[in-house]
């Protein structure tokens, strides 16, 4: 039985429209704010999951911090609440596919991966600067929204709810949702060692690897125990063995994110982004020098990959290439 029915009113003003999806931990609904007429998503935990008051309070605090960021690459948590049907989140609604849906069809074009990686790192860095960790970065938690005649925007889902998800996962056991995370989880999390923002950097590195190759870093492995061992001791399968023609510096950049020792990874998402930006600019310059203006600045000077230093050719925008990619499928 569904946790919500069409027409149900949540928090006195959110009208339930339809069910968007069902996961191991709960259900997600499309709802309408009856005061503003804006659509939102409401994520409910299964009603047989109990959440300690301390975890609810922690999640509420993190949701408040997260809502203050208002970063374009993070799906905003509007509110969290508890009613007779259980715990729920009210989220910004994004009308678009998850990255998991896209890479299920195969590897993405390199330029699309570069674009989504830049955006994802920007969102990750914004949260990290507020001392918020995600701790469950995976393709299902990244969504892409396409805007008419412009570009696509990457949105990171479920920031600030890691502790709650951990509590819930312990109660429902190992299911598709919790199992899916084991492909991307950091070695320090698996060993229950102290961790910091570099755990998220490791996880997002695996997301970029999967996006580029269409496969996890150890394609032959599926047993959880084998995957744990691989995260701890086994280098990823060389990207060149899975897909042809990928720039070697880009491959090395991904391997940098996937270092077993946190001290061997980028110290911050910004560090990873600056290095990625250098790679992007070099590739674009090699492809077409007219992309660059005369007043080109280095990534350190520009401080952002969206600097005016890059002049984008509208005829080959990422959106067009993404749409063309889907047409071929």
Residue 3 lies in a domain: no
Last residue of a domain, one of 75, 92, 109: 92
Cβ distance 130 to 69 under 8 Å? yes
- Taking alpha carbons only, the member of 114, 66, 117 closest to residue 92 is 66
Same structural domain for residues 153 and 246?
yes
Of 34, 60, 92, the domain-final residue:
92
Average pLDDT over residues 23-33: 85
Q: Are residues 218 and 308 in the same domain?
A: yes
Same-domain check for residues 29 and 116:
no
Q: Which helix (H) or strand (E) holds 10?
A: strand 9-10
* Per-residue pLDDT band at 47 (split at 50, 70, 90): low
Residues with a catalytic annotation lie at: 136
Residue 76 sits in the same domain as residue 179 = no
Give yes or no for residue 269 having a pLDDT over 60. yes
- Backbone region of residue 62 per phi and psi (left: phi > 0; alpha: psi in -120 to 50; beta: other values): alpha
CATH code of 55's domain:
3.30.200.20
103: CATH = 1.10.510.10
pTM comes to 0.81
* Same-domain status, 221 and 290: yes
Domain boundary among 77, 92, 107: 92
The boundaries of the domain holding residue 46 are 9-92
- Is 170 part of any domain? yes
Segment 290-311, tens digit of pLDDT:
655 444 454 454 454 443 323 3
> Does residue 142 sit in the same domain as residue 179?
yes
Both 187 and 321 in one domain: the answer is yes
Residues 233 and 218 in one domain: yes
Answer yes or no: do 140 and 206 share one domain: yes
CA 212 to chain CA centroid, Å, is 15
Overall domain count for the chain = 2
Confirm whether 136 is domain-assigned.
yes
Asked if residue 45 belongs to a domain, the reply is: yes
pLDDT at residue 68 in the model: 77
209-248, pLDDT tens digit by residue? 999 999 999 999 999 999 999 999 999 999 999 999 999 9
Exposure class string for 260-295: b at 16+ Cβ within 10 A, else e: eebeebbebbbebbbbbbbbbbebbeeeeeebeeee
Q: Do 68 and 87 fall within a single domain? A: yes
């Amino acid at each position: 039985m569904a946790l919500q029915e069409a027409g149900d009113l949540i928090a006195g003003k959110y009208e339930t429209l339809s069910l968007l999806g069902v996961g191991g931990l709960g259900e997600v609904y499309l709802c309408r704010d009856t005061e503003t007429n804006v659509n939102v998503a409401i994520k409910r935990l299964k009603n047989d999951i109990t959440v300690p008051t301390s975890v609810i309070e922690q999640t509420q605090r993190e949701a408040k911090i997260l809502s203050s960021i208002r970063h374009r690459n993070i799906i905003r948590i509007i509110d969290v609440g508890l009613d007779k049907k259980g715990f729920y989140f009210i989220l910004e609604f994004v009308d678009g596919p998850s990255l998991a849906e896209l890479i299920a069809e195969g590897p993405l074009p390199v330029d699309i991966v570069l674009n989504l990686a830049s955006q994802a790192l920007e969102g990750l860095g914004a949260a990290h600067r507020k001392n918020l960790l995600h701790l469950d970065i995976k393709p299902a938690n990244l969504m892409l929204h396409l805007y008419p005649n412009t570009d696509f925007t990457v949105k990171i889902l479920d920031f600030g709810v890691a502790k709650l998800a951990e509590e819930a996962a312990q109660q429902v056991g190992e299911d598709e949702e919790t199992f899916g995370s084991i492909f991307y989880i950091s070695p320090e999390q698996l060993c229950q060692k102290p961790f910091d923002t570099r755990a998220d950097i490791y996880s997002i590195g695996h997301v970029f690897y999967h996006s580029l190759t269409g496969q996890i870093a150890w394609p032959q492995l599926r047993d959880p125990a084998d995957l744990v061992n691989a995260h701890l001791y086994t280098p990823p399968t060389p990207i060149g063995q899975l897909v042809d023609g990928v720039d070697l510096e880009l491959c090395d950049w991904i391997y940098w994110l996937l270092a077993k020792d946190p001290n061997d990874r980028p110290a911050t998402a910004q560090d990873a982004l600056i290095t990625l930006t250098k790679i992007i600019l070099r590739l674009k310059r090699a492809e077409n020098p007219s992309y660059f203006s005369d007043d080109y600045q280095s990534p350190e000077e520009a401080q952002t990959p969206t600097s005016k230093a890059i002049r984008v050719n509208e005829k080959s925008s990422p959106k067009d290439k993404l749409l063309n990619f889907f047409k071929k499928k």
